[in-house]
């Protein structure tokens, strides 16, 4: 098996656990409080999160324009881009393209063609509405659906990437096999995803309520290798993600002070989510993984 680890962080695992787990418990209670105010259970709210424009746009305020993942454009440039190394004229597939922030950046700065697929129709519709303004070149396209769409042709992409999306997929091996099929020989795969850390009761509850199916970073890497990928490299980037989440929260709180459109229920909810994610990452219960792999050019 070709599995490399590059760099090493994981220092979050050495932080005191008891304090962090207390934080998680407090924040879990916060989520229930919000859920009651909105008249939905936590699970119902999580399911609606990518379908309701208000929820999506509320998250965009904290993530930054075009994004629904920690650190927004800065994190994309710092973490995913160096692994993706796009070149002009390439075809790139983004799984879970959300509001299209990464796709718009790629077409504008690297002159690649990007197809974004997303299972949330609302995300696709918002991204498509922004296309005339953010992609005058017309090199981006957003399609409602998942990686198994028939419109996606085998061996037609130079690179595939996804950010904070595959955690929602229960059957990761099948998705990875499909990525293998869609890539041209020598194509690149980059996955930035929330992963399982040291499993705790709080983590299991968090995963259940959030509707996510996280696996550990080594398991992710093994799944990529089993799907036939070569040069598989996996790295724990939880420390960087905690920094991004802290920065997001700081910027958001400053903005909430000045922006009358951010009401107190929204603020309470967003702040609670962020503190809970930071708590889980610091406790080592949740981890952020960066997995990079290639399709052999001999296929």
Ligand X SMILES: C[S@@+](CC[C@H](N)C(=O)[O-])C[C@H]1O[C@@H](n2cnc3c(N)ncnc32)[C@H](O)[C@@H]1O
Query: Which range touches ligand X (CB under 6 A), out of 119-127, 134-142, 197-205, 247-255?
Result: 119-127
Tokens 């419109």 found at: 151
d(CA 164, CA 96): 8
Cite the DSSP H helix spans in the chain: 17-38, 42-48, 53-63, 72-75, 81-84, 101-110, 121-134, 172-182, 201-210, 217-226, 238-258, 264-283
The answer to the question of residue 86 lying near ligand X (CB under 6 A) is no
How many of the other CB atoms lie within 10 Å of CB of 97?
30
CB of 22 to ligand X, least distance (A): 27
CB of 101 to ligand X, least distance (A): 6
Please identify, using beta-carbon distances, which residue of 17 and 128 lies nearer to ligand X. 128
Please identify, using beta-carbon distances, which residue of 44 and 297 lies nearer to ligand X. 44
CB of 85 to ligand X, least distance (A): 19
x-marked contacts with ligand X along 36-75 as a string, rule CB under 6 A: --------------x----------------xxx------
Q: Distances from the Cα of 195 to the Cαs of 204, 208, 268, 295, in angstroms? A: 12, 14, 26, 23
* Interactions with ligand X, residue window 140-179 (CB under 6 A): 146, 163-165, 168-169
How are strands ordered across the β-sheet holding 91-95?
3-4, 230-236, 286-294, 183-196, 157-163, 91-95, 113-118, 140-144
CB of 99 to ligand X, least distance (A): 6
Q: Which residues pair with 183 in a beta bridge?
A: 157
The answer to the question of residue 285 lying near ligand X (CB under 6 A) is no
Tokens 């796709």 found at: 103
The answer to the question of residue 248 lying near ligand X (CB under 6 A) is no
Taking CB under 6 A as the criterion, the residue among 117, 195, 221, 224 binding ligand X is: 117
CB of 116 to ligand X, least distance (A): 9
Phi, psi of 23 (to 5 degrees): -60, -45
The answer to the question of residue 118 lying near ligand X (CB under 6 A) is yes
The answer to the question of residue 90 lying near ligand X (CB under 6 A) is no
Please identify, using beta-carbon distances, which residue of 21 and 249 lies nearer to ligand X. 249
Binding site for ligand X (CB under 6 A): 50, 67-69, 95-96, 98, 101, 117-120, 123, 146, 163-165, 168-169
């Amino acid at each position: 098996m070709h599995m490399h680890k590059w760099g090493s962080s994981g220092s979050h695992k050495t932080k005191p656990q008891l304090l962090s787990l207390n934080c998680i418990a407090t924040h879990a209670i916060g989520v229930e409080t919000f859920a009651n105010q909105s008249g939905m259970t936590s699970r119902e709210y999580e399911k609606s999160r990518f379908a309701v424009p208000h929820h999506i746009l509320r998250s965009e305020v904290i993530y930054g324009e075009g994004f629904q993942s920690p650190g927004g454009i800065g994190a994309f440039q710092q973490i995913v881009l160096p692994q993706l190394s796009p070149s002009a004229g390439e075809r790139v597939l983004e799984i879970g393209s959300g509001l299209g922030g990464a796709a718009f950046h790629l077409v504008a700065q690297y002159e690649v063609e990007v197809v974004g697929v997303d299972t949330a129709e609302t995300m696709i519709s918002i991204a498509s509405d922004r296309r005339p303004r953010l992609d005058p070149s017309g090199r981006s396209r957003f399609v409602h659906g998942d990686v198994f769409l028939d419109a996606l042709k085998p061996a037609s992409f130079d690179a595939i990437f996804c950010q904070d999306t595959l955690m929602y997929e229960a059957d990761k091996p099948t998705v990875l096999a499909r990525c293998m099929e869609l890539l041209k020989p020598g194509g690149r795969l980059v996955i930035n995803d929330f992963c399982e850390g040291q499993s705790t009761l709080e983590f299991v509850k968090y995963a259940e309520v959030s509707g996510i199916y996280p696996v550990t970073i080594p398991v992710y890497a093994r799944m990529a290798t089993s799907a036939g990928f070569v040069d598989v490299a996996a790295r724990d980037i939880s420390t960087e993600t905690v920094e991004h989440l802290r920065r997001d929260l700081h910027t958001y709180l400053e903005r909430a002070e000045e922006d009358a459109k951010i009401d107190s229920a929204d603020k309470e909810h967003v702040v609670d989510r962020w503190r809970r994610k930071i708590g889980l990452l610091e406790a080592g219960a949740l981890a952020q993984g960066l997995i990079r792999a290639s399709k052999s050019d001999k296929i």
